[in-house]
Amino acid sequence: MAFDVASVKRDLEPYPPDGRPPHSNFPLGSGDAYSTNGGLLIATKWPLYVFIGFAYKTTTYENSRLTQQLPKWASIEHFDIEARAEGTPTKDQMRLMMQSLLAQRFKLAVHREVEQVPVYGVVEEKTGRLGPNFRPHAAEQPCSATGTSSDQQTSESTQLMPCGTMSGHFFSGRMHVEGRGLTLDQLADYLQQMQMPALDRPVLDDTHLAGTYDFTLEWTPDGPVSLNGAKAQLDETGPPFVEALKEQLGLRLVARTGPVNVLVVDHVEEPTAN
């Protein structure tokens, strides 16, 4: 599959705080959040590894591997991509078209390998008992960005999130994270990046719980947090990440070794002209 028309340009404007922030007309992560947009992709000011991650639906662990494999320019230079396809392609179809575009304009060649590496497995703290802040996503709840819920435990901000997404912010000395309509595989991947500093190994779902879930989680980070260039004050009374995971979601992490599918970059070049 390929886009009908596509433009790839270097973005030479300053990066924030002096210039525009990165933007796209739909999320470029591994999640499924997507709204029909007439086959249009507009993404500005993103480094190449973000486009690769979108195209191949990479995990947090794979993204860290990507930045190690790619040349320096692929992490520090920023690009604008505007492309259009006929009809109403799905997000996964847009990913396939991005793969074709990256191969054409960046001469990108990749393959996948399975490696046995140290991982964390997510398991239930008590089998069959979820934590108070971890709830099955109700089947009658719409998954659009304007969904509503009668569940009084679901915050207003979570109700407005598309399914398959997570958002977080630092407030009153704690990290606050909310997720909506996530599978356990998606939650496991998010858990690696939630911890501050990030967990040093990939996280895999060992619960094998089916369906999708909504959650809220808050904890005091283990390391320093910078806000607007200044060191933020931490709430010393808040729970650490591992304790919050257990008490609020009813989950814990178990260290083990396991197979991880990773993306390997064979070749890449700076982009050709449009």
In a domain, 53, yes or no: yes
- What is the Cα–Cα distance from 109 to 150, expressed in whole angstroms? 48
Q: Is residue 233 located within the same domain as residue 148?
A: yes
70 to each of 57, 103, 189, 201, how far by Cα in Å? 17, 15, 22, 20
Strand, coil or helix: what is 116? strand
User: What tens digit of pLDDT does each residue of 197-213 get?
Assistant: 677 889 999 998 999 99
In a domain, 267, yes or no: no
Q: Where are the beta strands (DSSP E) in 208-250?
A: 213-219, 226-227, 230-231
Q: Is residue 74 located within the same domain as residue 175?
A: no
Contacts of 162 (CB under 8 A, 6+ apart): 33, 34, 35, 143, 144, 145, 147, 180, 181
In a domain, 113, yes or no: no
Q: What is the pLDDT of residue 165?
A: 84
273 to each of 5, 6, 42, how far by Cα in Å? 14, 11, 18
**Residue range(s) defining the domain that contains residue 224:** 118-259
- What is the Cα–Cα distance from 37 to 25, expressed in whole angstroms? 9
Q: Where are the beta strands (DSSP E) in 70-164?
A: 79-84, 109-124, 134-136
In a domain, 269, yes or no: no
- What is the Cα–Cα distance from 60 to 69, expressed in whole angstroms? 15
Strand, coil or helix: what is 148? coil
Q: What is the pLDDT of residue 36?
A: 75
Q: Is residue 76 located within the same domain as residue 138?
A: no
Mean pLDDT by 10 residues, the chain (274 residues): 95 81 90 83 96 94 90 94 94 96 97 94 94 90 49 47 85 92 91 77 93 94 78 91 96 95 95 76
- What is the Cα–Cα distance from 69 to 19, expressed in whole angstroms? 28
User: What tens digit of pLDDT does each residue of 157-213 get?
Assistant: 445 678 888 888 999 999 999 999 999 999 998 888 787 667 788 999 999 899 999
Q: Is residue 254 located within the same domain as residue 126?
A: yes
In the chain, how many domains are there? Answer: 2
Q: What is the pLDDT of residue 199?
A: 78
Neighbours of 144 (CB within 10 A): 11
DSSP 273: P
Listing DSSP states for 8-29 in one string gives EEE--SPPTTTSPPPEESS--S
Whole-prediction pTM: 0.79
Q: What is the pLDDT of residue 141?
A: 72
